[in-house]
Amino acid sequence: RKQKSLTNFVINEETDSSSRPKKKSNNKKVKTNEEDFAIKIINDICKNFQLDVKEVLATLGSTNGDVNQAISYIKFGPELSGVLPWTQEEDAIISSTDEQQFSGIVQKHGQVAVAERLQFLENL
């Protein structure tokens, strides 16, 4: 649950809690703690790797919100990290009906990764 909330929070670039409408919830404190945790992670990554928030959010978005993969990619790059980030073009292809291009994405990322990406995009 925390990972899903963190992912949605990070990808939607809602790092300023004052800009969001207030929602009535019995879990207000839990939600606030999760949001505070997400902001702390983002700020820590920015500070440790001298990146701005948009760069960190883009990297998290390209790794399905996986903080460990994002940090590994930032720290070591694509070759050494083994992380294969998703692009906006690939997201468009897997959301389209073009079977030939879709097959190319499946060959590149693998069937399981494509299914996980589609689920990640659905949850945004």
pLDDT in tens, 29-45: 777 888 999 999 999 99
CB atoms within 10 A of CB 107: 10
One domain, residues 73 and 94: no
- 122 shares a domain with 67: no
List pLDDT tens digits, range 5-21.
454 545 554 444 444 44
pLDDT above 60 for 66: yes
Give the three-state DSSP class for 52.
coil
Q: Do 43 and 62 have their domain in common?
A: yes
Asked whether residue 74 falls in the same domain as residue 102, the answer is: no
pLDDT at 31: 75
Question: How far apart (Å, rounded) are the C-alpha atoms in residues 65 and 63?
Answer: 5
**Dihedral angle computed from the Cα positions of residues 94, 85, 113 and 66, in that order, rounded to the nearest 10 degrees:** -120
Residues 5 and 62 reside in one and the same domain = yes
Residue 124 DSSP symbol: -
How many domains does the chain contain in total? 2
In this structure, are 74 and 58 located in the same domain? yes
Q: Are 123 and 113 in contact (CB under 8 A)?
A: no
pLDDT of residue 10: 55
Domain span holding position 80: 1-85
Whether residues 75 and 106 fall in one domain: no
Residues 101 and 50 in one domain: no
Same domain, 61 and 72: yes
Q: Do 93 and 32 reside in the same domain of the chain?
A: no
pLDDT at 25: 54
**Cα R_g (the chain), whole angstroms:** 16
Listed in sequence order, the residues at least 6 apart from 121 whose beta carbon sits closer than 8 Å to its beta carbon are 91, 94, 95
